[in-house]
Structure 1
Amino acid sequence: MNPRRKKRLGLILALFVGISATVGLMLYALNQNMDLFYTPTELVNGKPDGTKPEVGQRLRIGGMVVAGSVVRDSNSLEVSFKVADVGPQVTVIYDGILPDLFREGQGIVAQGVLVDATTIKAHEVLAKHDEEYMPPEVAEAMKKTHEPLQYTEQQKQGTGQ
């Protein structure tokens, strides 16, 4: 093999290794930042394709805050509450200040880590804007597998707790 071909081959191999390493690192970084969305029913029973999250996995969960389930720690900012769609309930533990629009009977999306099969330690809680708005993932999931939500007149007027 002449020196010119050796140089080209070395350059092509180096370029291939560099591109492969870059793609591998990008995929690794994307995998670390990916949060999958679940409804409470999907979290407990698994998604239709059979996948269930593992303990320690980062995820997002969306649903309605169950009335009477909000428990606040008097010595800290920790709050625990239950989230449900029309199936099982999942406990969310959050240490921080909840959004102003957070209240029982309203839709939320919590992002955090799965602690056990039905408990999530959230690091972020988002509340929906009004009675008509619902995060797209929640709306789509509820359309597929659940009956439509029924709001009371108090909830429609924003005075219900």
Structure 2
Amino acid sequence: MKGLKKQRRIQIIAVAVVALALSTALIGYALRDGINFFRSPTQVTETPPGPNETFRIGGLVEEGSLIVNEDEQIAFNVTDGNAVVAVTYTGILPDLFKEGEGMVGTGKYINGVFQASEILAKHDETYMPVEVIDALKEQGVYQAPNGADS
């Protein structure tokens, strides 16, 4: 009788291990497209990602680079003060999107151009995404707005 209990216990543990491994694999498979890594323009130019990799890029919209066509085709450059990456986007830009201001875009880097599927801009006078601030600080070009703690 003791042998049967021991065998049953081993079978239950084996089934639990297989179920855990299977559920971990399914969760990883489901999240593979939902994880977007952040990169600064310097990181993108130094180590360009593959054309099928979706990621986020952030920095400041370069002054004088914003071009908006009538058919909602938008082109501009994003910079971290060290490197510049060309960005294209089709759609309507957020109301607070301006040259010289912070932005974060999600998309793919194809043939030297970041093709954005989503563009986010700051939401008030002092906000800038943490990733953008960190990247700008790394380059030594970040200046905190007046009255803002950083």
The aligned runs of 1:1-161 (5 Å cut-off) are 2-46=3-47, 52-74=48-70, 76-116=71-111, 118-149=112-143
Structure 2 contact 61–78 (Cα < 8 Å) conserved: yes
SS at match of 1:111: strand
Q: In percent, how many aligned pairs have the same letter?
A: 35
Unaligned runs of 5+ in 1: 47-51, 157-161
Separation of aligned partners in 1, 2:78 and 2:50: 19
Shift of the alpha carbon at 1:45? 1.4
Q: Is the partner of 1:12 in helix, strand or coil? A: helix
- How high is the TM-score relative to the length of structure 1? 0.78
- SS of aligned partner of 1:32: coil
How much is the aligned-residue C-alpha RMSD, in angstroms? 2.3
Give how far 1:79 is off.
Answer: 1.0
SS in 1 for 2:115: strand
How many residues were matched structurally? 145
Mapped to 2, the partners of 1:112 and 1:5 lie a distance apart of 54
Please report the TM-score for the alignment, with normalisation by the length of structure 2. Answer: 0.84
- What CA deviation, in whole Å up to 9, does each residue of 1:35-58 have, x standing for no partner? 111111111014xxxxx5222211
